[in-house]
Structure 1
Amino acid sequence: MSPDVGTEGIPDPRVLRDLAVSLATEAAALARRMRADGIEVADTKSSAVDVVTAADRACEELIRERLLRERPDDAVLGEEGEDRPGTSGVRWVVDPIDGTVNYLYGLPECAVSVAAEVGERVVAGAVVNIVTSTTYAAAAGHGATRDGQSIGVRSPTPESQWLVLTGFGYQAEVRAHQAACVARMLPAVRDIRRMGSCALDLCHVAEGTADAYVEEGPRPWDHSAGGLVLSEAGGRFELVPGSLPETVPGADPRGLLVGTSEASWDAFGALLVRSGFTSRSPGEFRE
């Protein structure tokens, strides 16, 4: 059997991880060059503040072209382009620039995120910071790294000492709901940060520079790679039922992203209930 292939013909997650790192690194370099040359808004999506730049499109096209050349039978789900079907059982989930507004303004929290799924399970991923080139990577069953060094979540601390990361959507009614939940949470914890990149937020929890992350509404390309990095760093990441559909009809019924250490999961879940992010107890998240 080829060393690139695992049991039952499934690609070795480490091979997919290394390809994800290569793709994300190359795309991040392109984004840096385009940012240095000057970049402007090319389009908007869900609202006037949900922007797309020419770099988003160029970086995704670069990744798609590389995948077509190296793994032509794989499927691709990208934020900016059309879904490409595949026959191999592997699907790539690509966010060419996560944190586009930060990228537009020159803030350093923006990244390229590339993940590989087998079936419905994420098995490999990479998140590369566009500004600093810091590289987070993970392969299922093989741990998580930052710039090649193993990382792990913070040791559990009391709720009052938690630093919680979160984010806000681009539609006014979604933001209003998220802001109300965050306002209820803030008095209970050390502090809350809104950095601007879901993928990097999850990696920060994975490396122990934050205690937890919660946000309702991000899409698969935002969290697939970062969620695996967190899980492989000894944390726990899940999509659970949130309360947003109660105020925004049609919202994803399981669209609440939650990530923290395994040891803090129940306590953080209870805080999410008190804050209004969800009405489910942590034990009910998977029901």
Structure 2
Amino acid sequence: MSSTHAEVLARTADAVRSAGSVLRKRFGAVARHESREELMRALAANDEAVLEVLRPRLTQLRPDARWVEDELEGGALPPGEWWLVDPAEGNVNHLHGLPEWAVTATLVRENRPVLTAIHLPLTGETYTALAGGGAHLDGRALRVSETADLGLALVATSQARPDEDASIVRRIGSSVTAMLLDALVVRTSVPATLHLASVAAGRIDAFWQFAGARADLLPGALLVSEAGGRVTDADGRAWTPESDGFLASAPGVHAAAVAALTR
């Protein structure tokens, strides 16, 4: 390879920061829409504006890496190296004038994240992680919380996408009930990536989700694991992009979180 993974990560972080400035300029008043079609056009316009900056820079970095075209898709990727990008993670928040949104870029090889960069344009923060190299926020090493009692834990979940299958919706509802009974406080909001960044930073003790897109979960999975957390499916087994559940947590609350989610 012509560049080390650390060099690629540094340049990826620069790329998401540059692209994020485009999304920040587009942020402001609530974007009004009268139909699902109007909403989808507004979401796509944000994506396209960011990708115009981000895609050529990442393609130049790794010319042989293929590009995941639909950030909402789940499941395993074909063999090889891929750029997995969410140009406006939390896009619906952006259009509603809410601050929780980001630009993410993750290099995936053989369905394992190699490196990720997550930029929050409104705060200027950039989270990065490198497989085997730790997780950082603007260069400061991240570490998950030391909480060992789920009853003292702040936990979070997220809706993976609109129009989920009814069985998944019911599973989400029962899991929230279980966590409301067992944890201290439950947060429910989108997007997943920002919750996972908070798990990696020790601000939230656990995050779970059912179903979900690769672009929602792979960046945060790398952040949390490199910050010393545990990443599994909701049953406590090894997580892959094909799993139907996801759990990332501080080690001290993982077993109790699995017990709550599988009750």
State the distance in 2 between where 1:32 and 1:183 align. Answer: 36
The one of 172, 182, 205 equivalent to 2:199 is: 205
DSSP 3-state at the match of 1:122: strand
Match of 2:22 in 1: 30
Change (3 A) 1:253 1:220: closer
Match of 1:15 in 2: 7
DSSP 3-state at the match of 2:197: helix
DSSP 3-state at the match of 1:101: helix
TM-score by length of 2: 0.84
The root-mean-square deviation of aligned C-alpha atoms, in Å, is 3.0
State the distance in 2 between where 1:154 and 1:50 align. Answer: 40
The one of 115, 119, 124 equivalent to 2:110 is: 119
User: Kindly, what percent of the aligned residue pairs are identical?
Assistant: 29
State the distance in 1 between where 2:106 and 2:21 align. Answer: 18
- The gaps in structure 2 that reach 5 residues or longer are 74-78
Match of 2:248 in 1: 259
CA contact (8 A) 2:155 2:205 kept: yes
Q: Are 1:238 and 2:228 counterparts? A: no
State the distance in 2 between where 1:132 and 1:159 align. Answer: 30
CA contact (8 A) 2:158 2:190 kept: yes
CA contact (8 A) 1:164 1:191 kept: yes
* 1:192 partner letter: V
- The gaps in structure 1 that reach 5 residues or longer are 5-11, 83-87, 243-251, 275-287
State the distance in 2 between where 1:231 and 1:58 align. Answer: 31
DSSP 3-state at the match of 1:157: coil
Shift of 1:267: 2.1
Change (3 A) 1:19 1:150: same
CA contact (8 A) 1:77 1:93 kept: yes
* 1:21 partner letter: A
TM-score by length of 1: 0.77
State the distance in 2 between where 1:57 and 1:81 align. Answer: 15
Change (3 A) 1:57 1:39: farther
What CA deviation, in whole Å up to 9, does each residue of 1:45-69 have, x standing for no partner? 9xx8997241122213422222233
Change (3 A) 1:203 1:121: same
DSSP 3-state at the match of 2:155: strand
State the distance in 2 between where 1:225 and 1:126 align. Answer: 8
CA contact (8 A) 1:241 1:253 kept: no
